[in-house]
Amino acid sequence: MAVVTIVHGRHDHLRGQLRSLARGTRRAQHVVVSMGDPEVGKETDGAGPFELVAVQADPAALPLAAARNLGATVAIERGAEVLVFLDVDCIAGPELVASYDDAVRRSPQTVWSGPVTYLPPGLTEGQLERPWILDDPHPARPAPRSGQVLTDADPALFWSLSFALHRDAWTACGGFCERYVGYGGEDTDFARIAQSRGLGFGWVGSARAYHQYHATNDPPVQHLADILRNGAIFHERWGDWPMEGWLEEFEDLGLVERLGQGWRAVSAP
């Protein structure tokens, strides 16, 4: 099996992830994909082995979909049957790799996700080494207890922070649509593809991850252009808009307006 992580910046977070994977109850090969960041992997403090590959990238429009696809291709070429995708901000719980491995092998036609806790700022190094003491999974997603498995889950709740599937399921989906560039939409699109190919969705309670803190905006106004562009691509492909909650919040802020069945940015006066 293999873990795939895509990276631009967040080098400290990558080191935290590497250390957590090294402490796991089961090891896997690790493919790290640098998106236009030549500094990735230069200072890992011996945290754990990984294979580094790279894609060219504009920092203002990172190719998240293409980077995940490259990571999966490399992992499969190295013989991986189980693919685990883990966001660079995520610290892996001790049983994450083993739990995903077991779930995928039991049900290789399912896309499996795991609960993710968003950690607060200001944690000590010791707390980051034992983040499960702060376990509090995101309330907008299923969170079965450790040892529990949830099947027949809603595809709309899939997220790309932490998920796993069999390489045959990945091949059936054809990977992520690389028309998406920048933030948002590509993971919802992937879930639609997986559903259309007959794959199921499930949640693994023991595959817990812990998202290291970084500053952001709510709603993510810094990604407004990406969300509008990728949302329009999604609408073209599927007939509806993703991320409508954020779009409605942008509308309340006077940043976007509805235009027929779509959305557009409001020009500054």
Tell me: the pLDDT tens digits for 205-258?
999 999 999 988 889 999 999 999 999 999 999 999 999 999 999 999 999 999
Half-sphere exposure of 128 (CA within 13 A, CB side): 21
- pLDDT score for 182: 94
46 pLDDT above the threshold of 70: no
In this structure, is residue 216 part of a structural domain?
Answer: no
In this structure, is residue 164 part of a structural domain?
Answer: yes
- pLDDT score for 39: 93
Q: What three-state secondary structure class fits 147? A: coil
Q: Do 31 and 70 belong together in one domain?
A: yes
Residue 59 DSSP one-character state: T
Contact 207, 161 (CB under 8 A): no
Given the structure tokens 């896997």, which residue do they identify? 28
One-letter amino acid at 86 equals L
In this structure, is residue 235 part of a structural domain?
Answer: yes
269 pLDDT above the threshold of 60: no
Top pLDDT among 55 and 60 is at 55
267 pLDDT above the threshold of 80: no
Q: Do 168 and 255 belong together in one domain?
A: no
- pLDDT tens profile 66-114: 999 999 999 999 999 999 999 999 999 999 999 999 999 999 999 999 9
43 pLDDT above the threshold of 90: no
- pLDDT score for 31: 98
Q: What three-state secondary structure class fits 119? A: coil
Q: Do 241 and 204 belong together in one domain?
A: no
Q: Do 177 and 245 belong together in one domain?
A: no
61-81 burial string, b = 16+ CB within 10 Å, else e?
Answer: ebbbbbbbbbbbebbbeeebe
Q: Do 241 and 134 belong together in one domain?
A: no
Task: Give residues with Cβ within 8 angstroms of 80, minimum separation 6.
Answer: 1, 2, 28, 29, 167
Q: Are strands 162-166 and 2-7 parallel, antiparallel or unpaired?
A: unpaired
Look up residue 85 and give its two tokens. Answer: 């995708």
Q: Do 134 and 12 belong together in one domain?
A: yes
Nearest Cα residue to 247 out of 268, 231, 267: 231
In this structure, is residue 163 part of a structural domain?
Answer: yes
Mean pLDDT of all residues belonging to the chain? 95
Q: How far apart are CA 61 and CA 83, in angstroms?
A: 25
Average pLDDT over residues 24-40: 96
Q: Do 148 and 35 belong together in one domain?
A: yes
- pLDDT score for 101: 98
Q: Do 138 and 199 belong together in one domain?
A: yes
Q: What three-state secondary structure class fits 110? A: strand
Domain enclosing residue 227, as ranges: 221-265
Nearest Cα residue to 99 out of 224, 192, 208, 17: 208
Top pLDDT among 45 and 183 is at 183
- pLDDT score for 42: 81
Q: Do 250 and 203 belong together in one domain?
A: no
- pLDDT tens profile 113-138: 999 999 999 999 899 999 999 999 99
- pLDDT score for 44: 72
Q: How many domains does the chain have?
A: 2
Nearest Cα residue to 156 out of 225, 241, 261, 69: 241
Q: What is the CATH number of the domain that holds 100?
A: 3.90.550.10
Percentage of residues of the chain with pLDDT beyond 90? 91
- pLDDT tens profile 136-175: 999 999 999 999 999 999 999 999 999 999 999 999 999 9
- Give all strands of the β-sheet with 200-204 in edge-to-edge order: 51-55, 29-35, 2-7, 82-86, 162-166, 110-113, 200-204, 149-150
In this structure, is residue 59 part of a structural domain?
Answer: yes
In this structure, is residue 33 part of a structural domain?
Answer: yes
Q: Do 8 and 120 belong together in one domain?
A: yes
- pLDDT score for 47: 72
268 pLDDT above the threshold of 60: no
